[in-house]
Amino acid sequence: MRAFLVWVVLAACGGSAVTSAPPPLQPAPPQAEPSEPAGIPAGYVDAHVMQVVGSTEGSAVLLLDETTMLVLPIYIGGTEATSIDFRMRGLPPQRPLTHDLLDSIMKKLRGTLVKVQVDELRDSTFIGSVFIRIDRRIIKIDARPSDALALAIGNKVPIYVAKQVFDQAGVAKDEILRQLAPPPGPTT
């Protein structure tokens, strides 16, 4: 009877009395970092580059928050000012500038710029980010705001600025326009 039961169990199990060891556990594939959000984050405002102006300290790019009519002046280097100005006017440079090179690299690597941000003002230094879509993920990369703005203008993507940055360093648009106005000429 016992032999009969062993035979029935073996037949039900596929006829093999030898059990194979379970396959070795494979390490789990590394988890990809979660994708960054594409839209405007909470606590940020949509801003636009009003213009690039020369100053005694070099150049400044003026970001405008149209809802509050505050302007955020960010002092930038000459190369960045030239690149932003060319991109705002739709003028191609004679040779690729750094931002043109970055655009080409993104394109070759099948990445697209999604948005840029000015995230904070830390010890008189503006901190920014660029967001690049690669496949279905969006990655955040630390960037100088001047570089981020040049890329945003060239790629026609949104510029978001933390409200706290406008609160810290924003100037009323009327005041900026007054400062930019040419001095009155002599009256005759």
pLDDT tens sequence across 156-166: 999 999 999 99
Q: Are strands 159-162 and 58-65 parallel, antiparallel or unpaired?
A: unpaired
Q: Where are the alpha helices (DSSP H) in the chain?
A: 2-12, 78-89, 98-108, 145-155, 163-169, 173-180
Instruction: Say what the pLDDT of residue 6 is.
Output: 44
Distances (CA, A) of 158 to 48, 129, 154: 8, 12, 11
Q: What tokens appear for 123 in the block?
A: 């010890």
Mean pLDDT, residues 34-56 taken together: 89
**Per-residue pLDDT band at 55 (split at 50, 70, 90):** confident
Quickly state the pLDDT bin for 94 (edges 50, 70, 90).
confident
Distance (Å, rounded) from C-alpha 170 to C-alpha 48? Answer: 13
Average pLDDT on 108-129 reads 95
Cα separations (Å) of 46 from 27, 49, 133, 162?
44, 10, 20, 9
Question: Which pLDDT score is estimated for 156?
Answer: 96
Rg (CA), the chain: 29
Mean local confidence (pLDDT), 130-156: 95
Enumerate the domain spans of the chain: 44-180
Give the fold, CATH level 3, of 44-180: Bifunctional nuclease domain (3.10.690)
Neighbours of 5 (CB within 10 A): 9
Task: Supply the pLDDT for residue 7.
Answer: 45
